[in-house]
Chains A and B, each alone.
Chain A
Amino acid sequence: MTALTLAKSLNAGLRRAMEDDPKVIIMGEDIGRLGGVFRVTDGLQKDFGEDRVIDTPLAESGIVGTAIGLALRGYRPICEIQFDGFVYPAYDQIVSQVAKMRARSQGRLPMPIVIRIPFGGGIGAVEHHSESPEAYFAHTAGLKVVACSNPGDAYWMIQQSVASDDPVIFLEPKRRYYERAEVETEAGEAPYPLFASRVVRDGTDAVLLAYGPMVKTCLEAAQAATEEGRNLAVVDLRTLSPLDLDPVYELVRRTGRVVTVHEAPITGGLGAELATRITEECFYSLQAPVRRVGGFDTPYPPARAEEDFLPDLDRILDAVDRVLAY
């Protein structure tokens, strides 16, 4: 066990993936000498060389588009998108090319590409640096979408994503990059499957569903709720596409009450999908409508207003009050 930040865990996971498979290469802006703007790739170019840790020109479509060609040649590229708001220039290559290549080639052309995206707000950044684009990708057939929430998952999920023959959008909660935890780096294999949700706190009164940066916030809210005698469960979804909801359904059948929490705007967000599936699957177990807590349907606000935009303990607990009021 080693105490690592989430960023260092990713670095260690990337390093191990590169050591395990010479076909793994990393490409992105400023990832070489600088080690990435969040230092996630720190030291990798020094150890693996410029041919495997590629500082690219500053053009996101080019990063993903050339990764496709490398994948067709048998490589396993990991693309770093510097910030969430910069993924949109690559959107066409991701959605029209990466996602569809296997299906349109009748299964002949795999796309073992990982696209790492630091996502979400809470770091006081300027505009376009705090977006939550996950629903766009979860809506796209052919992509898989995962989000890590803690250093241990970061270490293992990045390796599992690299090993996957399916393209993975890998979302990194940038406000959690520097949070530290003990990570089991010596184990031979990951403790959890990649596409599996995880109950991180059991509870009897209601269940909070979250992923990425909101998992910690939900755990804090659940802790605060104990002062009012409420026992909340928290699920870290971990995988957004495919969704793994069997553990969620079990909790819903026990508690009858659900609150979904994400930073992304509410309309068309993951919470809407979760609410619908839970309603379809657990209708007779529900004691209250599923409530969604999320960002507002506004563009991400200027940094000094983001505290009001982002779900916090009070907004989550307010939603809990509402589902418990039925």
Chain B
Amino acid sequence: MTEGTFGAPAGEPDLVQLLTPEGERCEHPDYAFDLDDEAVRGFYRDMVLTRRIDAEAIALQRQGELGIWASLLGQEAAQIGSGRAVRQQDFIFPTYREHGVAWCRGIDPLALISLFRGVDNGGWDPAEVNFHLYTIVIGAQTLHATGYAMGMQRDGCVGTGDPERDAAVLAYFGDGASAQGDVNESFIWSAVFNTPTVYFLQNNQWAISAPQEKQSRIPLYRRAAGFGFPGVRVDGNDVLACYAVTKAALQQARDGGGPTLIEAFTYRMGAHTTTDDPTRYRLQDELEHWKLKDPLARVKAYLTRNALIDDAFLADLDTEADDLAAHVRAGTLSMPEPDLAATFDRVYAEMTPELRAQQEWFREYHASFHPSGGAADGGAPHAEVTR
């Protein structure tokens, strides 16, 4: 049992916080939340619904319907706050845990779940929603993000002053990924070429069973200084602060001001994925400590205290969450099985003779088990639904 990271952040001067765990708004000299209370209600709704998707997916995994699930429990504020700060023309490179960010991009949760069920590798069109496929290899996507941002520069989409045109890239990764060579190479590239790349590091304290202390001897946001761009640590359980900090960093990037590293100091309340058991590596006390900082509770406290929500709002939200859960459940169970024969067609733009021969062989072989003819059930990719 390793001594966990209780995290000093409360009261730490370099932690940006705009909403306390008690649900009280507070000020920060550099960052302000500039949206109205209706937006805060919207953020709360996003977080509740995202948490519900997560809970439903965990249940589906436990029932054997998903091979695995990477829970975002505890990271809703980091994801909704940052995800709501992007503009349509910005592009996002997620890890495999960014279900809340995907929600902000209007991606149907079923398009995420299909990956974890094993029927495809991501059921959305990245170019359509400006949200790349989940990348499983830790940190590899940060380089893709930098390259994409270099493309934005070459397309004249940086620093023109046109809010419809100027764009930035938001790259997500975790505390574990901060140790990867690719992430560090991405930092170097982004700094050297001054690309419009914003890094959003969700420090959830644990890289599977390894605590943050095994990744870094210094606070992660301070890494940025060594690469030559700003780093800022934000309370990752504070959706207002995550929004404000990300919005500012994205704007700086769009304006030609180059990259920023945002470290969202947060906590993974569940397991890394449904395959591991956090009781083997972390203390219950730590979990209890972080429960007091729950990202949803503090927004609800703020909204309740200021009479911005009432029982009817909460009842409606409950109903909406139930409907969403039912959609996730029914949609998961009705996903067609993937058709291996179709995957041959997607390997190359120009099919190879060898692959064509293998495909034909497979089709004939497979058909021999189904004398009625035709492929096995399924074949067509499941319908893509976007909200």
Taking Cβ atoms with an 8 Å cutoff, the residues of A that contact B are: 25, 51, 56-57, 59, 61-62, 64-75, 77, 89, 92-93, 96-97, 102-110, 141-142, 144, 164-166, 195, 241-244
User: 1/0 contact trace for B343-387 toward A, CB 8 Å?
Assistant: 101111110111100000000000000000000000001000000
Bound form: Cα–Cα A29–B137 in Å: 25
Shortest CB-to-CB span from B236 to chain A, Å, is: 26
Query: Does A102 lie within 8 Å of B349, measured CB to CB?
Result: yes
Inter-chain contact B147/A73, CB cutoff 8 Å: yes
Nearest chain-B residue to A65 (Cβ)?
A: B143
Measured between beta carbons, the chain A residues less than 8 angstroms from B164 are none
Q: Is the CB of B189 within 8 A of A62?
A: yes
Which of A107, A110, A142, A164 sits near B345, CB closer than 8 Å? A107
| Contact stretch, chosen from B82-90, B150-158, B204-212 | B150-158
Interface class of chain B by DSSP: helix
Interface CB pairs A-B, < 8 A, 23 = A59-B181, A61-B143, A62-B185, A62-B189, A65-B146, A66-B150, A66-B186, A69-B144, A69-B146, A71-B147, A74-B151, A75-B154, A92-B140, A102-B348, A103-B121, A103-B343, A105-B125, A105-B126, A106-B346, A108-B125, A165-B350, A166-B349, A242-B353
Complex: how many Å from CA A68 to CA B347? Answer: 16
Knowing A103-B346, A107-B345 touch, does A67 contact B137 (C-beta < 8 A)? no
Pairwise interchain contact B354-A66, C-beta atoms closer than 8 A = no
How many angstroms from the CA of A103 to the CA of B122 in the assembled complex?
A: 11
Contact B126 A108 (CB under 8 A): yes
Complex: how many Å from CA A243 to CA B355?
A: 11
The 3 closest A-B pairs by CB, nearest first: A69-B147, A65-B143, A73-B151
Question: When A104-B121, A106-B381 are in contact, do A164 and B350 touch as well, CB less than 8 Å?
Answer: yes
- List the A side residues contacting B172 at CB < 8 Å: none
User: Do A65 and B381 touch (CB < 8 A)?
Assistant: no
Among residues of A, the one whose C-beta sits closest to the C-beta of B123 is A106
- Bound state CA distance, A142 and B121, in angstroms? 15
Would A70 and B148 be within 8 Å (CB), given that A65-B140, A104-B133 are in contact? yes
Q: A70-B147, A105-B126 are in contact. Are A57 and B346 (CB under 8 A)?
A: no
B56 interface contact, C-beta 8 A = no
Please name all residues of chain A whose beta carbon is closer than 8 Å to the beta carbon of B126 when the two chains form the complex: 72, 105, 108-109
Is there a chain A Cβ closer than 8 Å to B182's Cβ? yes
Complex interface: chain A residues within 8 A of B349 (CB): 102, 110, 164-166
- Enumerate chain A residues within 8 angstroms of B147, measured Cβ to Cβ: 65-73, 77
Q: Looking at the complex, which one of A93, A110, A244 makes contact with B140 (CB distance below 8 Å)?
A: A93
14 A-B pairs besides A62-B188, A66-B146, A69-B151 with CB distance below 8 A are A62-B185, A65-B144, A69-B143, A72-B126, A72-B151, A73-B148, A73-B152, A74-B151, A92-B182, A102-B349, A103-B121, A103-B346, A107-B346, A141-B347
- Which of the residues A51, A68, A166 comes within 8 Å of B143, measured between beta carbons? A68
* Chain B residues whose CB sits within 8 angstroms of the CB of A67 once the complex forms: 147
* B137→A96 contact, CB < 8 A: yes
Given the contacts A65-B147, A75-B151, A104 and B140 also touching, CB distance less than 8 Å: no
Q: Among B142, B155, B347, point to the contact of A73 (Cβ < 8 A).
A: B155
Q: How far is the CA of A142 from the CA of B343 in the complex (A)?
A: 11
Interchain CA distance A93-B182 in the complex, whole Å: 9
A65 and B186 form a contact (CB under 8 A)? yes
How far in angstroms is the closest Cβ of chain A from B172? 14
CB distance from B305 to the nearest CB of A (A): 44
With both chains docked as a complex, state the minimum distance between the C-beta of A54 and any C-beta of chain B, in angstroms.
8
CA distance A265 to B122 in the complex (A): 39
Is B120 among interface residues, defined by CB-CB distance under 8 A?
yes
A104 touches B144 (CB 8 A): no
CB distance from A109 to the nearest CB of B (A): 7
Give min CB distance, B124 to chain A, whole Å.
9
Known: A92-B140, A103-B346. A69 touches B185 (CB 8 A): no
Q: How far is the CB of A12 from chain B (nearest CB, A)?
A: 24
Distance, CA A165 to CA B354, complexed state (A): 18
